[in-house]
């Protein structure tokens, strides 16, 4: 076997220019795939991280039917204490779940005593929220004198930056929030602007924050009620698996009408960024398909040329008794070796590119966010996948020329001019 590869390597080196050019083309394809996967993948990971760690959370449980009418933020689809307890019992029994936090989503009118506007609010339990969305505070700006450990106190509101600008509100200003409860009665309470929060993608990123106890008081809830339960896992990669388990367990909770009581969604079912993430995945697959086409056409071309130029040599091999399978193996080894060398060089250059991009981080703007820094990474599975595909396609592309070589009649091949 080693001897076959030795002969194959020498045959490749026999046509140095052609081998180098083909190898360069394949290498370029691999480098582009590695760099694109690294950049697109890190962008996707960064954005998903921002969405799940600073706003949305990784999964959410609601009363059945809430998400389909989420735009109106209905207050009649709440989780009472009894139902919340059922969810807590379920979540606490699952070792993969790191934390959960109750939330109330509401629309309110905000007045600065001069102007009035509407605001979407996320009412949270700050101590639990930071466990579910550990980066939520990183989007918020507070007074310099404030204790950085305190996210939100009762009586305080954190408002979106665009709204603060439009209403000319600063940290420390008093405001009034007025909201309708689920029965239609109106209530208003005084609050103080404790901080400003910057936007991220989607409607979720433009919400203000208030304390959950204040929301319950504003909405005149006699007993504590929640709209959603946000969930964080120990390992994000197990999201689909945990989601499947929780879905099946939640489906067992049936209401009096015999219908499911709860619904659970993962972040991608709730955020419009999931479509961009899917587009990124699609583009990555497209790049890989282009790379496969480059490898396939390049190696097929080289191997066909190689067989055509060496007909007499193939005739000699066959005449002196080399079996058709060995002749085929020799040409397959040439294709495989070409793919292997290109793959190794491509991986080295691609990884070097990733390393350089990590030193000179790429700064870019996306949506309303400026100065996002991309630090591309590529995991070993991705590299192995790319290399594996290249090797597989190299062998596949060599199959037809190798088969042709192995099927040549020695008497015809020896007489070839």
The contact set with other proteins (CB under 8 A) reads: 3-4, 7, 10-11, 13-14, 312-313, 315-324, 326, 409-411, 414
Closer by beta carbon to other proteins, 69 or else 323: 323
Q: Tally Cβ neighbours within 10 Å of residue 248.
A: 9
Closer by beta carbon to other proteins, 125 or else 318: 318
Q: How far is the CB of 8 from other proteins (least distance, A)?
A: 9
Identify the helix (H) or strand (E) that includes residue 117: strand 116-124
Closer by beta carbon to other proteins, 84 or else 403: 403
Closer by beta carbon to other proteins, 204 or else 406: 406
The structure tokens listed for 205 are 């990123």
The structure tokens listed for 359 are 């030193």
Q: How far is the CB of 356 from other proteins (least distance, A)?
A: 38
Closer by beta carbon to other proteins, 384 or else 411: 411
Q: How far is the CB of 14 from other proteins (least distance, A)?
A: 5
Q: How far is the CB of 330 from other proteins (least distance, A)?
A: 8
Q: How far is the CB of 411 from other proteins (least distance, A)?
A: 4
Closer by beta carbon to other proteins, 57 or else 318: 318
| Calpha distance 226→61 (Å, rounded) | 10
Identify the helix (H) or strand (E) that includes residue 98: strand 97-111
Q: How far is the CB of 316 from other proteins (least distance, A)?
A: 4
Closer by beta carbon to other proteins, 367 or else 410: 410
The structure tokens listed for 397 are 């592309």
| Calpha distance 124→106 (Å, rounded) | 11
Q: How far is the CB of 306 from other proteins (least distance, A)?
A: 12
Pairs from 282-289 (Cβ < 8 Å, separation ≥ 24): 283/36, 283/40, 284/36, 284/37, 284/40, 284/41, 287/32, 287/33, 287/36, 287/37, 288/33, 288/386, 288/389
Closer by beta carbon to other proteins, 112 or else 322: 322
Closer by beta carbon to other proteins, 14 or else 234: 14
Q: Decide: 31 and 106 in contact? Cβ < 8 Å.
A: no
The crossing angle, in degrees rounded to 10, of helices 324-359 and 380-406 is 150
| Nearest residue to 104 via CA among 220, 190, 197, 191 | 220
Three-state secondary structure string covering 124-156: ECHHHHHHHCCCHHHHEEECCCCCCCCCCCCCE
Q: How far is the CB of 409 from other proteins (least distance, A)?
A: 8
Q: How far is the CB of 3 from other proteins (least distance, A)?
A: 5
Burial (0-12, 13-18, 19+ Cβ within 10 Å), 82: exposed
DSSP state of 224: -
How many angstroms separate the first and last alpha carbons of the chain?
31
């Amino acid at each position: 076997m080693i001897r076959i590869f030795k002969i194959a390597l020498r045959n490749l080196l026999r046509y140095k220019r052609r081998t180098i050019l083909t190898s360069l083309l394949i290498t370029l394809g691999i480098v582009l795939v590695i760099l694109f996967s690294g950049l697109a993948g890190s962008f996707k990971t960064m954005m998903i991280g921002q969405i799940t760690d600073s706003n949305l959370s990784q999964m959410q449980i609601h009363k059945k039917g809430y998400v389909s009418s989420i735009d109106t933020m209905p207050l009649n689809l709440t989780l009472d204490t009894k139902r919340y307890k059922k969810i807590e019992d379920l979540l606490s029994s699952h070792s993969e779940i790191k934390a959960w936090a109750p939330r109330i989503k509401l629309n309110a009118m905000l007045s600065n005593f001069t102007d009035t506007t509407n605001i979407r609010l996320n009412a949270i339990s700050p101590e639990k929220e930071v466990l579910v969305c550990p980066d939520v505070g990183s989007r918020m700006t507070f007074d310099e004198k404030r204790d950085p450990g305190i996210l939100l106190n009762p009586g305080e509101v954190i408002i979106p930056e665009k709204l603060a600008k439009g209403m000319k509100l600063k940290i420390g200003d008093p405001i009034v929030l007025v909201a309708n409860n689920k029965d239609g009665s109106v209530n208003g309470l005084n609050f103080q602007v404790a901080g400003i929060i910057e936007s991220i993608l989607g409607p979720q990123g433009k919400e203000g924050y208030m304390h959950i106890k204040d929301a319950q008081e504003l909405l005149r809830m006699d007993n504590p009620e929640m709209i959603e339960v946000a969930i964080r896992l120990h390992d994000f990669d197990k999201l689909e698996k945990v989601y499947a388990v929780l879905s099946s367990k939640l489906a067992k909770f049936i209401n009096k009408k015999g219908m499911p009581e709860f619904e659970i969604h993962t972040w991608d079912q709730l955020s419009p960024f999931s479509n961009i993430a899917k587009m990124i995945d699609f583009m990555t697959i497209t790049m890989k398909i282009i790379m496969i086409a480059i490898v396939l056409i390049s190696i097929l071309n080289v191997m066909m040329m190689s067989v055509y130029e060496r007909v007499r040599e193939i005739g000699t091999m066959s005449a002196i008794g080399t079996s058709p399978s060995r002749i085929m193996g020799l040409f397959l080894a040439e294709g495989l070796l070409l793919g292997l060398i290109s793959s190794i060089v491509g991986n080295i250059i691609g990884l070097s590119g990733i390393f350089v991009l990590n030193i000179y981080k790429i700064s870019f703007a996306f949506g309303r966010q400026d100065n996002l820094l991309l630090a591309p990474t590529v995991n070993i599975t991705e590299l192995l996948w790319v290399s594996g595909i290249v090797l597989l396609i190299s062998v596949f592309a060599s199959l037809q020329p190798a088969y042709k070589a192995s099927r040549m009649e020695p008497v015809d091949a020896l007489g070839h001019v």
